[in-house]
Structure 1
Amino acid sequence: MRLPEVEDTVNGPFTMIWSLLLSLFASLTARSVVNGQTPAGLAPKAFLSLPLGTVKPAGWLYDQLVVQTNGLAGHEHDFYHYVSESDWIGGTSYYSSLEEAGSYWFNGMVPNGILLDDPTIQSQVQQFLDYVLDHQDSTGWLGPEVNTTKPRYLWGRYPFFFGAIQMVEANATLTDRVVTAFHKFVALANTMLHNGEGLEDWTRTRWEDFVIVLQWLYDFHPEGNEDLLIDTMKQLKYTGDPWEDVFNETYFPKTAVEDLRNPFPVLTWHGVNMAEGLKALPSTYRFTHNQSDIDAASKGWDLLFQYHGRPSGIYAADEYLAGLEAARGGSYLYQVIGDPKFADRVERITYNALPATLTGDMWSRQYLQQQNQIAAKNMTPNPFPEDGPYSNVFGLEPNYPCCTVNHPQGWPKFISNSFVTTPDQASLVQVYLGPYTVSTMLAATGNKVSVSVDTLYPFSDTLTTTIKATKAFTYYVRIPSWVTNGTISVNGGPSRPVSPTNGLHAVSVHAGTTEFTLDLPSEITIEERPHGSVAVHRGPLHYAFDISRSSRVLAQNAQQPLAVDLEFDATEAWQYAIDPSTLTFHTGTPAGGQLPSPIFDSGLPPFTISVAACPIDWAEGGNTFAAAPPTDPACTGAVTNITLSPFGSTKLRIGEFPTFKAT
């Protein structure tokens, strides 16, 4: 990608075995060549990630990690049977170690512990790492394998690898032990793949995670095994699902998929696996060097959100892709490709969909969330074709346990990927906007740099960044696509318009201290949704009507009374149409300049939008969820004003509205 030039005056992101034909086709399309030969080495990324711990949260983002640590995520190791110490120490549960749950938990809690400097969590993840590595067998297999005759399948180890890599980044003394264990495992995995072993549905669809691990080894710790590493990447691609075809517009599903026939293995249309597949193509590009892989990834991204996207930033999947109906339930891409659309989408997801699926105190979470969610309870009739009626209860383990152990990844990994460097390691790039501190050495020039970003963003439009550097360099900051009339003031100078190139604005930083203030206002925008309904946005935030609610405890964990399943019911009318022409933005002033904690709970964010609304007839589906928004409804009562709040703070909500015209 092309970086912006510095201006002199401005200083300015889920079956079956393949048929023979499809297997052959996948293998042929994977064997890409450049100038008639298989390319050597790995293609460079557009940006380079920073080691874990380089970027730390500040302000309200720091508080989010504190709330998460004080909530379910920080206490699972104490009581939750899939990942509690008593279940994997002594080998009472192979599932809890490296089949899925333990790997997921480890992968999320490593960055959580490092970013908060939390000694308890750091001790827990170190103990887990030690236990797994101590139980690597003579063949190189990482286990332990306990109380099971299940074949050796590869994929459950992949999240463990990610966690171990992060531990190496944060503590270099672990490098030799982890890297040695990885290479022993890779040698075994390569043999298994050549023999057709280690493969089942999940391995075939999530092969890209292992490829990314192999690329980390290749980039930083190849140990003379470059050819083996590349060959293992190719074997994973050849034996895995063909994501370049899944994301081909000819085959891509354009509606909810429960009544469609998937021409590929069924897990490719699984919601989580779609995200996995989006990583597959840029990871493939690095060893094929083929632009077609990048193009397919970008096109697949657009198709996914065009046909299944939600105003909250995420795409719809109640297990499998669910289309656009409101009643249904990118960092890696940005670093490889550099297209700002990936970063914009990641920021929207993080500041909307992620907090909306958790209670404010983060002790209870949903499996599925709804754009128009008028209750969170055991639903009869069940609106979800693939998942159970308990799926949108806020609780410890609604529907499946995987998200209980996996959900803590979101905030820590968003934070740790918020800054990157340019490929020449001479410049620093702020990708995601929010409050942070950074301390790093820009390796190309030996430039020691510290950064402090003071802001309430996305609950403010203003960001003040202070940079201290031993040498002059160019600093880049992403200007989101939704910004209108953004300005920058450097070292107290006059405010000048931002001038981003490919989403990045360049700031010339001198040796010593440089301070600049960004003002990044946005207009209220309207997104057209099915049935003539609309969704409301301003900046990265999606706005919804926050329905007041009653709460009832459905279940309580015997070991941890704070881990509860909660039923929410609406205590006020929610059947409204709105007049979009009357939308008005309101800025509140946080007491003492500090946001309340936890910020993502009812009535707490300082930004709101008011709008003229009128009551309408709007049916319920069964008695627990909203039917599709009615098209061109008639008002059944007087016009009134209602307040819309940031989507992430709402637990019951209307996020897609019918419209009317007020007179």
Structure 2
Amino acid sequence: MISSRRRFLKTSAAIAASSSATMSGISAVAGTIKSNSPQREVVANKAPLAASSFYPLPMGSIIPRGWLRRQLQIQADGLGGHLDEIWADVGPNSGWLGGTGESWERGPYFVDGLLPLAHQLDDAKLKAKAQRFIEWTLTHQQANGMIGPASNDDWWPRMVMLKVLTQYEEATGDPRVVPFMARYFRYQLETLPARPLRDWGKFRWQDNALSVIWLYNRTGDQSLLQLAKLLHEQGHDWQAQFADFKYTEPVTPERIHLDEKNGLGDTALSTHGVNNGQALKAAPVWSLLTGKEEDRKGMQQMLSALDKYHGLPNGMFSCDEHFAGRNPSQGSELCTVVEAMYSLEVGMSILGDAALGDRLEQLAFNALPGAFTDDMWAHQYNQEPNQVEVSLHRKPWTTDGPESNIYGLEPNFGCCTANFHQGWPKFTSSLWMASADGGLVAAAYSPCEVKTVIQSVPVHLVEETQYPFRETIHLTVNPAKPVTFPLKLRIPTWATSHEVAVNGKKIESSVVDGFVRIDREWHTGDAVELHMPMEARVVPGFNQSVSVHRGPLVFSYAIGGSWLKLAERGKASDWQVYPTTAWNYALDVSEEAAKSLKVEELPIGDAPFSLKGAPVRIVVRAHKVPSWRAEDGVAASVPSSPVATMGAPETIALYPYAAGKLRITAFPVKGETAKS
């Protein structure tokens, strides 16, 4: 054990002595693949770690374009770029800036999204804001290696700051980061036996392990693997929990002993939504150390159980803030949305499972924007797929408070205020990945450009698309000189057909494990076009209800709303929203007839996830269901279908899920029409 700890002191020597590593088709030195600058390198797993299917491109390699850049700019112009100016918890008195203010998770949470946002927009002001937190952290490490504010010694917030530092090092090449992290991990290895992981850190060990693996792949220090195994040993056994999943019903405070240890008992934490969102990556991360297939399958086992017992039509599972069943009037915490997205991004890179890209897009294009006002100056703690009122009611939350679904600065609890920032930027960073066989992989689709190096050749790839609102994706590949490598394009499971053309000529494109592979020598200006027809489809759900989907988008009926300002919070405000139109509709539609639904494509506005700027809508026939009502601002459970309706049929328009701040997403299906 002593010799293992001493190896942490030899970081510089380990870096210098790192042996050469090679991935098929990609030149790698010291376990790295050169990217678009000497300071940005795609790093392959070092033995004895198992190989990943894909490897993330270093933060900064992917630059947003088109509607995605506009969306990131909306975030920067809203709370994302100004939170430190109006919210003391991440303001100048933050403990992560050396002050006496909040010193736990909120500073690291904020910077975890602010840093990539700043670099993706190349915004000097935002970079400077992020740098203050990073600079204080790097220059205030204690002599024993501990990092962060001295006012607490909780392992958990350090796990978030480590994620920040790994991104920062990739973007800047700052030579201080690797030895800084090595000293901290030496301290952690020495200290964990006597001061083991507890509460939040115990259930989020995989985030810590991911940073340990990141450093190991850069130094080869074997004691880091020992630390990763210790974290797993002390952490919650997520795979065991889902191998025998017991939480198949909405939980109650009594069932999970919520009053035990101030809500930090193991039962409460194991059913906590954010913990589960983060834990989705636990099995894939652990599989890197074991190489076992059973560990590689753990993520899908977890997703399957969550879908079966707590799945919602927006791709999330209910967690308000503990498991709450499949009723679409229950909610999901915004923190869980962004953490689930990050877990899917990590899982996609390790496992190469195309289905994870489908789920990632569903969350990114529906649940993520669905929790914000159009200008991103206010957000919800909990969002509901069937959300008929946003107000100060206790229902339907079992463990949250009455502010849970209002739009505001810090409704219910401020964790989401600090943490939501990572959603869009990390999604952007995960659009493309390097494949283990030396190529590039389209993991998810949005307009962007990629700058990397393949076989020592700089490659600039441009993706032009209005996906997910349109069906076609245009790629232009611009290598500095001709170079041969595979290009892998993900074909979503909803795509019943597709066409691929290279330089205007259609090619054979069979789908293998969810991807089309194009092997060729690439020349500057080579163009690839992928067309995936998007047909409307009807997806069954809770109580035989249905939701309408097209491509990765989920569609909802946007209820008219009257906005009531509760309070002004500097540049932000808190809002309640009350319905001004009827919402209790049943759809006259079947799975078989879904393809004939009328789809109308509209101009793409500056805010594509707003009602005003919505680029597409679907027109459906519907009937009123007078017996379906709200109580205390909450829609009753969707009546079991088929339902009796009343009155003449109506034609209603469904818009992308995030467009309506009040919405119905899961509808009963029309049965007989009652006589009036």
Q: TM-score range by the shorter chain?
A: 0.7 to 0.9
**Contact kept? 2:85, 2:91, Cα under 8 Å:** yes
Equivalence for 2:420? 407
**Contact kept? 1:527, 1:536, Cα under 8 Å:** yes
The secondary structure found in structure 1 opposite 2:647 is coil
Taking the aligned partners of 1:627 and 1:488, their CA distance within structure 2 comes to: 46
Aligned 1:7-406 pairs, distance under 5 A: 41-88=48-95, 91-93=98-100, 95-96=102-103, 99-145=104-150, 148=151, 150=152, 152-172=153-173, 174=174, 176-195=175-194, 197=195, 199-222=197-220, 225-226=221-222, 228-248=223-243, 250-258=244-252, 260=255, 265-329=267-331, 330-379=344-393, 381-406=394-419
> Which residue identity does 2:547 align to in structure 1?
A
Taking the aligned partners of 1:498 and 1:309, their CA distance within structure 2 comes to: 33
**Contact kept? 1:585, 1:607, Cα under 8 Å:** no
**Contact kept? 2:90, 2:102, Cα under 8 Å:** no
Taking the aligned partners of 2:318 and 2:132, their CA distance within structure 1 comes to: 37
Q: Any unmatched runs of 5+ in structure 2?
A: 1-45, 258-264, 332-343
> Which residue identity does 1:400 align to in structure 2?
F
**Counterparts in 2 of 1:452 and 1:199: CA distance versus 1, 3 Å:** same
**Contact kept? 1:360, 1:599, Cα under 8 Å:** no
Q: CA-to-partner distance for each residue in 1:382-428, whole Å, 9 max, x for gaps?
A: 2100101110001001001000011010000001011111124x201
The answer as to 2:669 corresponding to 1:659 is yes
Q: Tell me the percent identity.
A: 32
Give the deviation of 1:89 after TM superposition: 7.3
**Counterparts in 2 of 1:641 and 1:158: CA distance versus 1, 3 Å:** same
> Which residue identity does 1:503 align to in structure 2?
G
The answer as to 2:564 corresponding to 1:552 is yes
Taking the aligned partners of 1:92 and 1:473, their CA distance within structure 2 comes to: 51
The secondary structure found in structure 2 opposite 1:457 is coil
Taking the aligned partners of 1:378 and 1:90, their CA distance within structure 2 comes to: 35
The one of 520, 524, 535 equivalent to 1:512 is 524
Taking the aligned partners of 2:477 and 2:167, their CA distance within structure 1 comes to: 26
> Which residue identity does 2:528 align to in structure 1?
F
Give the deviation of 1:621 after TM superposition: 4.1
The secondary structure found in structure 2 opposite 1:400 is coil
**Contact kept? 2:90, 2:106, Cα under 8 Å:** yes
Taking the aligned partners of 1:318 and 1:496, their CA distance within structure 2 comes to: 48
> Which residue identity does 2:176 align to in structure 1?
R
The one of 621, 626, 632 equivalent to 2:635 is 626
Taking the aligned partners of 1:503 and 1:232, their CA distance within structure 2 comes to: 35
Taking the aligned partners of 1:313 and 1:73, their CA distance within structure 2 comes to: 24
The one of 555, 561, 576 equivalent to 1:543 is 555
Q: CA-to-partner distance for each residue in 1:269-298, whole Å, 9 max, x for gaps?
A: 110111222211111111122222112222
**Counterparts in 2 of 1:616 and 1:89: CA distance versus 1, 3 Å:** closer
The secondary structure found in structure 1 opposite 2:72 is helix
The secondary structure found in structure 1 opposite 2:125 is helix
The answer as to 2:446 corresponding to 1:439 is no
Taking the aligned partners of 1:414 and 1:617, their CA distance within structure 2 comes to: 41
The secondary structure found in structure 1 opposite 2:608 is coil
Give the deviation of 1:231 after TM superposition: 1.0
> Which residue identity does 1:518 align to in structure 2?
L
Give the deviation of 1:260 after TM superposition: 4.0
> Which residue identity does 1:597 align to in structure 2?
D
> Which residue identity does 2:62 align to in structure 1?
V
Matched residue count: 600
Give the deviation of 1:450 after TM superposition: 0.9
The answer as to 2:484 corresponding to 1:472 is yes
Taking the aligned partners of 2:472 and 2:135, their CA distance within structure 1 comes to: 44
**Contact kept? 2:199, 2:266, Cα under 8 Å:** no
Q: CA-to-partner distance for each residue in 1:40-61, whole Å, 9 max, x for gaps?
A: 7211111011011111111000
**Contact kept? 1:46, 1:335, Cα under 8 Å:** yes
Give the deviation of 1:338 after TM superposition: 1.3
Taking the aligned partners of 2:652 and 2:347, their CA distance within structure 1 comes to: 39
Aligned 1:434-583 pairs, distance under 5 A: 434-442=446-454, 445-469=455-479, 470=481, 471-493=483-505, 495=506, 498-509=509-520, 510-557=522-569, 560=570, 562-581=571-590, 583=594
Taking the aligned partners of 1:90 and 1:611, their CA distance within structure 2 comes to: 54
Q: CA-to-partner distance for each residue in 1:206-235, whole Å, 9 max, x for gaps?
A: 11111000000011234xx32x10111111
Taking the aligned partners of 1:637 and 1:497, their CA distance within structure 2 comes to: 52
Taking the aligned partners of 1:489 and 1:157, their CA distance within structure 2 comes to: 47
**Counterparts in 2 of 1:572 and 1:586: CA distance versus 1, 3 Å:** same
> Which residue identity does 1:487 align to in structure 2?
E
**Contact kept? 1:154, 1:198, Cα under 8 Å:** no
Taking the aligned partners of 1:506 and 1:115, their CA distance within structure 2 comes to: 28
The secondary structure found in structure 2 opposite 1:463 is strand
Taking the aligned partners of 1:90 and 1:606, their CA distance within structure 2 comes to: 42
Give the deviation of 1:247 after TM superposition: 1.3
The secondary structure found in structure 2 opposite 1:209 is helix
**Counterparts in 2 of 1:430 and 1:348: CA distance versus 1, 3 Å:** same
> Which residue identity does 1:182 align to in structure 2?
M
The secondary structure found in structure 2 opposite 1:553 is strand
**Contact kept? 1:618, 1:629, Cα under 8 Å:** no
The answer as to 2:616 corresponding to 1:604 is no
**Contact kept? 1:548, 1:652, Cα under 8 Å:** yes
**Contact kept? 1:77, 1:85, Cα under 8 Å:** yes
Per the normalisation by structure 1, the TM-score is 0.88
**Contact kept? 2:644, 2:672, Cα under 8 Å:** no
Taking the aligned partners of 2:524 and 2:391, their CA distance within structure 1 comes to: 57
Which structure's relative contact order is higher, taking Cα pairs within 8 Å and 6+ residues apart? Answer: 1
**Contact kept? 1:135, 1:143, Cα under 8 Å:** yes
The secondary structure found in structure 2 opposite 1:351 is helix
Q: Any unmatched runs of 5+ in structure 1?
A: 1-38
**Counterparts in 2 of 1:138 and 1:453: CA distance versus 1, 3 Å:** same
Taking the aligned partners of 1:165 and 1:368, their CA distance within structure 2 comes to: 30
The answer as to 2:433 corresponding to 1:420 is yes
**Counterparts in 2 of 1:467 and 1:90: CA distance versus 1, 3 Å:** closer
Which one is further off, 619-628 or 340-349?
619-628
> Which residue identity does 1:606 align to in structure 2?
P
**Contact kept? 1:464, 1:515, Cα under 8 Å:** yes
> Which residue identity does 1:160 align to in structure 2?
M
Give the deviation of 1:496 after TM superposition: 5.1
Taking the aligned partners of 2:430 and 2:589, their CA distance within structure 1 comes to: 36
Taking the aligned partners of 1:532 and 1:70, their CA distance within structure 2 comes to: 42
Give the deviation of 1:264 after TM superposition: 5.6
**Contact kept? 1:629, 1:658, Cα under 8 Å:** yes
Give the deviation of 1:519 after TM superposition: 1.2
**Counterparts in 2 of 1:84 and 1:430: CA distance versus 1, 3 Å:** same
Q: CA-to-partner distance for each residue in 1:570-602, whole Å, 9 max, x for gaps?
A: 111111111114651323242xxxx21211111
Taking the aligned partners of 2:540 and 2:461, their CA distance within structure 1 comes to: 39
